[in-house]
Amino acid sequence: MEYRKVISFGGNSHVISLPKKWLDANSLKKGDLIALEENRGEIILSSSTHSGKKEPKSIEISAENKNVDLLKAEIVAAYLNNYDTIEIFSDNLKAKVLEIKSIVRNLAGLEIMLHTTKRIVAKDLLNPSEASIKSIIRRMDYITRVMVEDTTECIDGIDHYEDINQRDMDVNRLYFLVIRVTRNAYKNPSMMKEYKTNSWELLMERNIATKIEKVADHQKRIARYIKALRLNTITRDELKKIHIAIKSSYLKAMDAYYKKDKTLAFEMNVLNKERIQMCNDFLIKHSEISPLERNQSKIEIDIEKDPRYWTDIARIVENLKAMSASIKYIARSVIDIDQSESS
């Protein structure tokens, strides 16, 4: 952060000097007008002739002698850094075409415009003004709510894992878009005005999107562990009860965000201790009950004697606790947004 001294100018005015680098970047000279916007303790300066449109950026990425993970990291990094055109090239591109197409498909707004034997060109077709953080969060939340419902049914023995896994990919795609949009807004303050937000609210909403993405991840993992288990009735009912309680907190935390309900957000924040205690009580209780005490069939008893069974149960509970923590931070961000608006 750079600091500038306030200088007295005349009887009633004060001035500060502007960085030459910023003036040059915006093609400003003596006599040009600068737009000034006050926003809760901060002042945003922008060129009055600046349209808010950024110059198109392109990048070339070599796929030569690179594994898929490294190639994915480079493509995603280019996307998040707002490159409009991403060109991937290699003399042996055919071997990686399917992986590259899969990577591009998972980045919202990016479409393959050219595909030859040695080059793939992907262009960003997204209109930034149509991609506000609020609209993306709502879409992420909708998909995550469906995942949470499906996971509850997984605990009942209905296999929704593949559907949940696909929806998690959709949430990830939207989350990458959140990162991209926020970076663009921070680099182009005029975009914040277009989104009708400020830097602090933008940061808090990015935090909320991050935690929604985490909640979706936890649903995918819980569904995966559940799929590999044969749960007895007692364990299934108690896990379902915990999951439903935490699901209810998630829905209320998101309602607090939409309605700007600080009281409800505080409640969901504080209830995290109770949610965590439910999970801990479950683990303590079930670690003290032997399989023989449950009056189960010999098959169920043999399953529960397998250490991997209880390892997976513990993993499910840890994901429930992590989900609860994510809800806590969603609520905390809602509170912080509300406080910034009232200041």
Least confident of 111-120, 166-175, 195-204, 216-225: 195-204
Please provide the size of the chain in residues. 343
Do 293 and 259 reside in the same domain of the chain?
A: yes
Asked if residue 85 and residue 43 are part of one domain, the reply reads: no
146 confidence band (pLDDT: 50, 70, 90): very high
**292 vs 3 pLDDT, higher one:** 3
CATH number (domain holding residue 110): 3.30.110
**Averaging pLDDT over each range in 6-20, 76-90, 189-203, 322-336, which range is the top one?**
322-336
Using pLDDT thresholds of 50, 70 and 90, give the confidence band for residue 272: very high
Question: Which of 127, 145, 175 represents a domain boundary (last residue)?
Answer: 127
CA distance 242 to 248: 10
The predicted-structure confidence for 151-161, as pLDDT tens digits, reads as follows: 999 999 899 99
Torsion (CA) 271, 268, 331, 243 in degrees, nearest 10: 80
Is 300's pLDDT higher than 80?
A: no
* Mean pLDDT, residues 18-36 taken together: 75
Domain span at residue 17?
Answer: 7-47
For residue 75, give Cα distances in angstroms to 91, 124, 168, 217, 321: 18, 12, 20, 22, 33
Q: Identify which of 206, 199, 239 has the alpha carbon closest to the alpha carbon of residue 319.
A: 239
pTM of the entire structure?
0.78
Please indicate, yes or no, whether residues 136 and 151 belong to a single structural domain of this protein.
Answer: yes
Where does the pLDDT of residue 132 fall: very low under 50, low under 70, confident under 90, or very high at 90 and above? confident
What value does the mean pLDDT take over residues 212-234?
Answer: 91
- State the pLDDT at residue 295: 55
Asked if pLDDT for residue 291 goes beyond 70, the answer is no
Establish if 282 belongs to a structural domain.
Answer: yes
Range list of H helices, 228-306: 233-259, 262-270, 272-287, 298-304
Q: For the chain, what is the mean pLDDT? A: 84
pLDDT of the residue at 183: 85
2 found inside a domain: no
* pLDDT tens by residue, 32-72: 777 676 665 677 666 655 444 567 789 999 988 888 899 99
Please tell me whether residues 25 and 112 are part of one structural domain: no
Tokens of 232: 């007895």
pLDDT at 29 over 90: no
Is the domain of 105 the same as that of 145? no
The predicted pLDDT at position 6 comes to: 80
More confident: 312 or 165:
165
Mean pLDDT of 139-149: 95
Whether the per-residue pLDDT at 140 is higher than 80: the answer is yes
User: How far is 245 from 241, CA to CA, in rounded Å?
Assistant: 6
40: which DSSP letter?
T
Least confident segment among 23-32, 74-83, 217-226, 283-292? 283-292
**Whether the predicted pLDDT of 263 surpasses 70:** yes
Q: What angle do CA 317, 322, 328 make, to 5 degrees?
A: 130
Residues 271 and 332 in one domain: yes
Q: What pLDDT is recorded for position 85? A: 92
- Among the residue ranges 14-23, 56-65, 77-86, 177-186, the one predicted with the least confidence is 14-23
271 pLDDT above the threshold of 90:
yes
Residue 343 has pLDDT above 50, yes or no: no
193 and 206 share a domain? yes
Instruction: Decide which of 80, 96, 127 is a domain's last residue.
Output: 127
Q: How confident is the model at residue 299 (pLDDT cuts 50, 70, 90)?
A: very low
Domain boundary among 127, 146, 168: 127
What confidence score (pLDDT) does residue 319 get? Answer: 96
283 has pLDDT over 90: no
pLDDT value at residue 51: 47
Rounded to an integer, the average pLDDT of 214-225 is 96
Q: Which of 228, 195, 161, 176 is nearest to 72 (CA)?
A: 176
Residue 172: which pLDDT band, with cuts at 50, 70 and 90?
very high
Identity of the residue numbered 291: P
DSSP 8-state class, residue 106: T
269 and 193 in a common domain: yes
List of residues 6+ apart from 129 with CB closer than 8 A: 194
Q: What DSSP string runs through 167-221?
A: HHHHHHHHHHHHHHHHHHHHH-HHHHHHHT--HHHHHHHHHHHHHHHHHHHHHHH
> The tokens of 319 are what?
């994901």
